[in-house]
Amino acid sequence: MSRSVPSAARRVVFLLLPGVHLLDLGGPAQAFHSANDAGGRYELVFSAFAGTVMTAQGAGLVPLVPPPEVGEPDFVFVPGTRCNGRLPERPLLAAEGVEWLRRAREAGALVASTCTGAVALGEAGLLAGRRATTHWSILDLLQARHPDAQLVDDVLFVHDRGVVTSAGVTSGIDLALSLVEADLGPAGAAHVARDLVVPLRRGGPGGQRALYLGGRDPLDPGARRVRDWLRGHPAERVRLPDLAALAGRSVSALVRAFKDDFGLTPLQYQQHLRLELAARLLREHRLPLEEVARRCGFEDPRHFRRLWKANFGAPPSALRTSGPHRPPPGGRDPLGESR
């Protein structure tokens, strides 16, 4: 999926169902709201087929507008509702809700869910033939109800042809950050993550063990400043003396601090960040390899391919053919899974 922020605002329409969980709603909403301070143009719309919705936590949400007609380049979010490890016996959506979600996807809107919001997407037929995920407690139940869906376990979120599903709760923030990153780039996503006081972004599959989250904070405050800068600017060209100046250290002192904490020099650390970013783009957005290389700071796509194969034992294209949650054949998982 390749998108860019349009000149007009991109609407993010939340469809709120009875019993909606506050964090499933509030996490993604806060991420998009914060992204407006980083150059985004997101217009948040809170909608329901009833004027008032009671949350699972007992707070009433009012006033809510009827769901508007949407299309490209809008986002539609269906936050999760209370389930207690069971699927609801009655449908979450009435007929008008099913038709609205179907029209939204057909008109080009990206449709996303957090947690049990995937149940509503299944009722609208949007999981058929797609990879998807949901909260671990109902994954098998949802698969039994929708055998034509390809449900994926042990991931935070999954993109598949305009439909994005997440495991729910805090992973809804990760899902939202992935969309912000596609619009605003790594620096924009890093701005939002810092504002929300969350890790820069956990990737969909395996990302909870990636460098963006890895290890303790560097003991040296200068190394910490450099690490944070590199996480926000993985694709930007930089010289080691410039990083040393940012740290207020000599080049040799900065390199020693980084090797102590990460086993890498600062430039090697940035290279690994670039490869992690490339893995996300390859798995989640289906961009051409040349565009992936450019977005990740590799000026020569051939160099990118050689570096990828040297690190992971297979060409970048293998990541797309190895399945939604398996390492590429012949190498380690670029998003952190070990073979």
Active-site annotation, residues: 115
HSE (side-chain half, CA atoms, 13 Å) at 117 = 31
Structure tokens, 268: 């090697």
Please report the DSSP string for 22-33 in residue order. HHHHHHHHHHHH
| ∠ CA 43-93-68, rounded to 5° | 30
116 CB contacts (<8 Å, ≥6 apart)? 80, 81, 82, 83, 92, 134, 135, 138, 168
Tokens 């780039």, residue located = 185
| ∠ CA 40-99-145, rounded to 5° | 100
Q: What's the maximum distance between 2 C-alpha atoms anywhere in the chain?
A: 66
Q: Which of 30, 120, 127, 15 is nearest to 75 (CA)?
A: 15
Helix axes 301-312, 266-284, angle to 10 degrees: 100
